[in-house]
Amino acid sequence: MLPTLPLLLFLLLLLPVPLSPASPPAVQTCQDFIHCLISGGGGFPSNLIYAPSNPNYSTILESTIRDARFNSTSTPKPSLILTPISTSQIQAAVLCSRRHDFHIRIRSGGHDYEGLSQTPFPPFAVLDLASFRNVTVNRAEKTAWVQSGAVLGELYYRIAKRSPHLAFPAGVTNTVGVGGHFSGGGFGFLVRKFGLAADNVIDCRGRILDRASMGQDFFWAIRGGGGNTFGIAVAWKIRLVTVPSTVTVFSVVRTIEQNGLDIANKWQSVSSKLPKELSLDLLLTTTNRTKNRATIKIAIFSALFLGKTDKLLNLMQSKFPELGLTGEDCKEMTWLESVVFHGGFPSNATVEALLDRSKNSPLVWTLKYKCKSDFVRGDPIPESALLKMWEKLMEIEPEFGGILMFPWGGEMEEISEFRIPFPHRGGNLYMIQHMAYWSDEGERHVGWLRELYDLAGDYVSREPRSAYVNYRDLDIGMNGEEEEGYERARVWGEKYFGKNFERLVRVKTAVDPENLFRNEQSVPPLPRGIRSQRIAAGSQFDRCTL
């Protein structure tokens, strides 16, 4: 039973490890690591360790590679895949990683947009948490415990099956893993009413470290400070939210000829001011694509309304009549069905489709993709610039390119930028996800996406140009050597975390000074020489409370 397990585990074992060990031969290190796992007190069963020679290695590896960009012959492959089924095995993996300086990457759902959970330079092991997928709902308390390897579809399904009036505000795609998603924030159609997934993580407990023993700063950092940085989250206690038994959804398309540009332009100033019960997203994209060019611009407006159609129609008529929404556009259903509606499933899919971890929109499974993010603050993008960005989508060579815009406002306006590491709150009109999906070889599609991103540069948040850590983007900066760790990381760190970056560095320095948990964009600890100075400098954040 889940509550008897160590539920949130941050494994920072106090074994002496040199900061910059001389690199031992990789093969020997790997053998030592395996030996440590199996017989060095680790107790890790050998049948849960997959080396490349194992016939099931590729199947396990590919089971949660969600982006074909990271499944090519040139993609670096892990020396080992570890598939623990108990927390003591996770603990053993961390202990042996530290003892033998053998790098591990944590993988929950495998959706990292830059593949960071599975593709560093070898040697490294993937610690795959796919077996940790329990969801235990406490209906009376309106809470649940969910393990990190569960995917969002399972979480939503289990909650709604216990009570159709309960829900959880997290992402749209059913195969996204809880572990990475909560570590970076996590939002979907309920964000305007209830905030992020990480805003609704309320507790954690465990044999090794729990909320009480990890302390306030540590607990603050893990809810949005980025995955693979502070330790391994095994499970999370979350606050469930109440939804009506009937909600309304729609997805309507407007072309330029149907006044799409004017409507999209109006959307920019209206969408964040709508009542919290309505989340109305906008996707600018194209259709009727021939080889190198599309010929029709389309704007797709997709919504979830926590109420019935008649109320929604009245609301839209008074606040956004330009969209011309009609009763025929709207569908009433349960909240769980709305997750399927917006999840990219075929129209005849049932809610059970949410449980299928192996299935998702074909777009995700077969194509390569990259995305970049932006926040629009204060003023909307001028209509002429919006048109220019939309025009850029016409020269699309990738299979699919789009500018997906998520309205902010509502609850996001009311939550302090310091409450958790995710800082993008009041003053933002909406967030943008610039997207490219393609199937052939070639970096040119990434170049195209960067050009699209450049077109938005003058009209989005600046100094820094903000970004969402869960839409991982290595273009905005990467970690380097330890000595320059802080200054280099600040470049990308302040884009993701704003003023919270300093506090994250302080927490990291306190809880993982040797930087055991790291990746190309993990918050670094301060080098030993300047740690005390920087910690003092960061004290302005001491006032922050949960």
Closest-approach residue to ligand FDA (CB): 227
CB of 360 to ligand FDA, least distance (A): 7
Least separation in angstroms between residue 530's CB and ligand FDA is 26
> Quick one: which of 69, 98, 100, 105 contacts ligand FDA (CB under 6 A)?
105
In the complex, minimum distance from the CB of residue 292 to ligand FDA, in angstroms, rounded to a whole number: 25
Residue 410 near ligand FDA by CB under 6 A: no
DSSP bridge partners of 369:
437
Q: Which of 172, 349, 415, 474 binds ligand FDA (CB under 6 A)?
A: 172
HEC secondary structure over 225-273? CCCCCCCCCCEEEEECEECCCCEEEEEEEEECCCCHHHHHHHHHHHHHH
Q: Choose one: 179-187, 201-209, 301-309, 346-354; the region binding ligand FDA (CB under 6 A).
A: 179-187
Q: Quick one: which segment of 176-184, 211-219, 332-340, 531-539 binds ligand FDA (CB under 6 A)?
A: 176-184
Among 6, 78, 84, 171, binds ligand FDA (CB under 6 A): 171
One residue of 108, 268, 286, 479 binding ligand FDA per CB under 6 A: 108
Closest CB 67 distance from ligand FDA, rounded Å: 6
**Closest approach of Cβ 105 to ligand FDA, in Å?**
5
How many binding residues for ligand FDA (CB under 6 A)? 35
> What minimum distance in Å lies between the beta carbon of 358 and ligand FDA?
14
Q: Please report, as residue ranges, which positions from 469 to 508 form the binding site for ligand FDA (by CB under 6 A).
A: 470
- Report residue 345 as tokens: 């499933």
Which residue stretch of 167-175, 208-216, 329-337, 484-492 sits at the interface with ligand FDA (rule: CB under 6 A)? Answer: 167-175
Peptide bond into 275 cis (omega under 30): no
DSSP 219: H
3-state secondary structure 351-375: HHHHHCCCCCCHHHHHCEEEEEEEE
Q: How far apart are the first and last CA of the chain?
A: 29
CA distances from 422 to 308, 340, 399, 405, 524 (A): 32, 27, 32, 18, 17
Q: Which of residues 62-101 bind ligand FDA (CB under 6 A)?
A: 66
Q: In what order do the strands lie in the sheet with 400-407?
A: 331-333, 247-255, 294-305, 278-289, 400-407, 428-438, 368-377
CA distances from 254 to 26, 260, 397, 430, 433 (A): 57, 5, 22, 20, 20
Q: Which of residues 204-243 bind ligand FDA (CB under 6 A)?
A: 227-228, 232-233
Contact 162, 139 (CB under 8 A): yes
Asked if residue 173 binds ligand FDA (CB under 6 A), the reply is: yes
φ, ψ (nearest 5 deg) of residue 233:
-85, 120
The verdict on whether 113 is a catalytic residue reads no
From candidates 29, 79, 97, 117, binder to ligand FDA by CB under 6 A: 117
Residues 283-322 that bind ligand FDA (CB under 6 A): none
Q: Could you give the CA distance from residue 220 to residue 523 in angstroms, rounded to a whole number?
A: 14
Q: Exposed/middle/buried for 387, CB within 10 Å: 0-12, 13-18, 19+?
A: middle
Q: Does 179 bind ligand FDA (CB under 6 A)?
A: yes
CB 209 within 8 A of CB 181: no
Which parts of this chain interact with ligand FDA (CB under 6 A)?
A: 66, 105-113, 116-117, 129, 148, 171-173, 176-177, 179-181, 183-188, 227-228, 232-233, 364, 470, 519
* Catalytic residue list: 471
